[in-house]
């Protein structure tokens, strides 16, 4: 019987584009939470195309590299930003008065709780990648904690916590994206992201 040969597909590391998408959307979104800008209308395009599409694209490429962590992380947060964009569109009345008036913010709050749970175990996984990514995930934990507090309890502290964490997520994500591009391009360490660490790292 003739054996079928399979050719492995070479796929570029999608970390840079995924982190760039995260950096851009959190930068723009954080300005509204911190009171530097008003409204969410012009955050929607960045949520859809950078927060969602760029990260989902990175997720698909990571799946081809058999990277379960990267696939899950970029996919999970990419679809989160699609959900956020849809939420804002509902609040702006795109889908009619009935949906806008029938929106219960507590449901959004529980979605934030769910993403906090997701991010907590993904934070453990990030320890096995690098320290910069671990910091990003710790900040995402703070973001979802703040969002849940703000939405479910009307906490001003939670709102500010979310805004500060989101801005810091953007800065560390820009750094991580730059490191992925430059380190890969020059085949040497141009920017240090820190070695993996934690109880599950051997040696």
Which pLDDT score, from 0 to 100, does residue 4 have? 53
Q: What are phi and psi of 122, to 5 degrees?
A: -70, -30
Q: What is the pLDDT of residues 159-195, one digit of tens each?
A: 999 999 999 999 999 999 999 999 999 999 999 999 9
Read off the DSSP letter of residue 199: T
Q: What is the pLDDT of residues 33-91, one digit of tens each?
A: 999 999 999 999 999 999 999 999 999 999 999 999 999 999 999 999 999 999 999 99
Which pLDDT score, from 0 to 100, does residue 202 have? 80
Contacts of 140 (CB under 8 A, 6+ apart): 77, 119, 123, 165, 169
Q: Check if the beta carbon of residue 150 is closer than 8 Å to that of residue 162.
A: yes
Which pLDDT score, from 0 to 100, does residue 203 have? 63
Dist. CA 111–CA 80, nearest whole Å: 9
| pLDDT above 60: residue 111 | yes
Which pLDDT score, from 0 to 100, does residue 11 have? 87
């Amino acid at each position: 019987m003739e054996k079928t040969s399979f050719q492995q597909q070479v796929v570029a590391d999608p970390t840079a584009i995924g982190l760039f998408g995260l950096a851009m959307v959190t930068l723009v979104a954080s300005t509204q939470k911190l009171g530097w800008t008003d409204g969410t209308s012009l955050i929607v395009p960045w949520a859809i195309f950078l927060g969602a599409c760029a990260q989902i694209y990175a997720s698909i490429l990571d799946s081809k590299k058999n990277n379960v962590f990267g696939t899950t992380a970029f996919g999970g947060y990419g679809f989160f930003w699609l959900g956020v964009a849809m939420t804002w569109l509902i609040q702006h009345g795109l889908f009619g008065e009935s949906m806008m008036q029938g929106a219960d913010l507590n449901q959004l709050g529980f979605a934030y709780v769910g993403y906090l749970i997701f991010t907590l175990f993904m934070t453990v996984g990030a320890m096995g990648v690098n320290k910069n990514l671990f910091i990003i995930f710790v900040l995402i934990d703070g973001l979802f904690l703040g969002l849940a507090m703000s939405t479910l309890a009307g906490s001003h502290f939670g709102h500010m916590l979310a805004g500060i964490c989101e801005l810091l997520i953007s800065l560390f994500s820009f750094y991580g994206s730059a490191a992925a591009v430059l380190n890969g391009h020059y085949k040497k360490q141009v920017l240090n992201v820190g070695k993996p660490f934690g109880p599950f790292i051997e040696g």
